Structure 1
Amino acid sequence: MKYLIVIAALLCFACDKSETAEEQIVEELSFSTKTFSSERCVDDNCAKVELSWPVAENVPEASLLNEEIGSQLLAYFQQDKTYTNLDSAAKDFLDSFEEFKTDFPDAPGGWSIEVKAEKSYESDSTLSFKFSEYNFSGGAHPNSSVYYMNFDKASGEYLSIDRVILDQEKMLEIAEIAFRKYHEVEEGVELKDDGRFFLPETGFFLPNAIGYESDTLHLTYIPYEIGPYVLGYTELEFPMQEVKGLVRR
Structure 2
Amino acid sequence: MKKYFLGFISASILLSFISCGGKNTPAENELKFRIVKYEKQSGGCDSLREDNCAHIKIEFPQITEFENPTVKDKINKSIVELFSNDGSNSGEIDYETEMKIFIQDYEEFIKEFPDSYQSWFIERTGEVKLNKENIFSIDFMEYSFTGGAHPNTYVTFKNFNLNNGEEIKLDELIPKDKQQELTKIAEAEFRKLKELTSEADLGEAGYWFENKEFYLNNNFLITDSSLVFYYNNYEITAYAFGPTELEIPYIKIKSLLNEKSLITNFIN
TM-score calculated relative to the size of structure 2: 0.73
Number of the residue aligned with 2:107: 98
> After TM superposition, where is structure 1 displaced by more than 6 Å over at least 4 residues in a row?
none
- Deviation, structure 1 residue 195: 4.4
Q: Which of these residues, 63, 70, 74, is aligned with residue 56 of structure 1?
A: 63
Pair 94,203 (structure 1): closer, same or farther in 2 beyond 3 Å: farther
Q: Which of these residues, 211, 219, 232, is aligned with residue 209 of structure 1?
A: 219
Task: Report the residue type matching 2:39 in the other structure.
Answer: S
- Deviation, structure 1 residue 53: 0.9
Distance 2:31 2:122 in 1: 29
Q: Which of these residues, 171, 174, 179, is aligned with residue 168 of structure 1?
A: 179
Distance 1:217 1:227 in 2: 21
When structure 1 is superposed on structure 2, of 31-40 and 239-248 the one drifting more is 239-248
User: 1:148-207 CA deviation, whole Å, 9 max, x = no partner?
Assistant: 101011121122343355443222111111111222223423323x24011224832213
Distance 2:174 2:36 in 1: 30
Give yes or no for contact 2:143–2:153 (8 Å, CA) kept in 1.
yes
Distance 1:32 1:243 in 2: 34
Pair 97,168 (structure 1): closer, same or farther in 2 beyond 3 Å: farther
Q: State, as a whole percentage, how many aligned pairs show the same letter.
A: 30
1:49-88 alignment, distance < 5 Å: 49-59=56-66, 60=69, 61-74=71-84, 78=85, 81-82=86-87, 84-88=93-97
Distance 1:128 1:51 in 2: 18
Pair 34,26 (structure 1): closer, same or farther in 2 beyond 3 Å: farther
How many residues end up aligned between the 2 structures? 222
Which structure 1 segments of 5+ residues have no match? 1-21
Which structure 2 segments of 5+ residues have no match? 1-23, 45-49, 264-268
Number of the residue aligned with 2:202: 191
TM-score calculated relative to the size of structure 1: 0.78
1:1-249 alignment, distance < 5 Å: 25=27, 29-41=31-43, 44-59=51-66, 60=69, 61-74=71-84, 78=85, 81-82=86-87, 84-166=93-175, 167-192=178-203, 194-201=204-211, 203-244=213-254, 245-246=256-257, 248=261, 249=263
- Deviation, structure 1 residue 27: 9.1
Larger helix fraction of residues: 1
- Deviation, structure 1 residue 107: 1.5
Task: Report the residue type matching 2:216 in the other structure.
Answer: L
User: 1:58-114 CA deviation, whole Å, 9 max, x = no partner?
Assistant: 33111100010111122xxx3xx4562332222222222122222222222211110
Distance 2:218 2:42 in 1: 33
Higher-Rg member (1/2): 1
Distance 1:225 1:185 in 2: 19
Task: Report the residue type matching 2:126 in the other structure.
Answer: A
